[in-house]
Structure 1
Amino acid sequence: MIGFVELEFRIHDAHSLKDKRAVLQRTLTRVRQKFNLSAAETGHQDVWQLSNISLVTVSNSHQAAERELERAIKFLDTFPEWERVKTEYEWL
């Protein structure tokens, strides 16, 4: 089972692409180290205060893949620099 989720985040205190990249680098590095998944910025790359993050995991069951993605999303939600405004799941 392949689980894919696309998240859109609003970064409130970013006043430049440099500010946004600092937040993204810190958070994506930590989520990659902590969870068994791939993470990348996949949209809004030239917008200061918005970012699309995609997370992908592979597992032998739907439940295990969903559990790993949910844990990662909860972890990303703990960062005070941003707020999640959109979530879209896909299962393959």
Structure 2
Amino acid sequence: MYVGALECDVLLGDVHSLKQKRSVVRPLLAELRRFEVAVAEAGHLDLHRRALIGVSCVAADAGHVTELLDRCERLIAARPELELLSAGTRLYGPED
């Protein structure tokens, strides 16, 4: 069993309140869930122009986990209303 975690720090575009932030982040989280991963806004909760998006998944094959998290990162990076500042991936396997 392999567990993968992706952490994406994003800068939101023309957002001036936490309510506007939610209107950008919620659709992104819903779109990521279509990949059948667990996803949440995991940081920068009190900042209206920043968000930390956490994505995780579990699979029997390390390659599948890596491919799935890469697809999620590409989806986030392709969104025109935000800028991906940084992304980090961790993979945990049977030997960890």
CA distance in 2, matches of 1:67, 1:36: 13
Structure 1 unpaired stretches of 5+: none
The residue that corresponds to 2:13 in the other structure is 12
Overall identity of the aligned pairs, in %: 27
CA distance in 2, matches of 1:47, 1:3: 27
Q: Say which one has the larger Rg.
A: 2
CA distance in 1, matches of 2:88, 2:31: 22
CA distance in 2, matches of 1:65, 1:36: 11
Aligned length: 91
SS at 1:2's partner residue?
A: strand
CA distance in 2, matches of 1:36, 1:21: 21
CA distance in 2, matches of 1:73, 1:48: 21
Superposition misfits of 4+ residues, deviation over 3 angstroms: none
Task: Please state if 1:69 is matched with 2:72.
Answer: no
Task: Please state if 1:91 is matched with 2:61.
Answer: no
SS at 1:14's partner residue?
A: coil
Instruction: Please tell me the root mean square deviation across aligned C-alpha atoms, in Å.
Output: 0.8
By how many angstroms is 1:90 displaced?
1.3
Structure 2 unpaired stretches of 5+: none
Query: Which range moves more in the overlay, 5-14 or 69-78?
Result: 69-78
With normalisation by structure 2, the TM-score equals: 0.90
SS at 2:16's partner residue?
A: coil
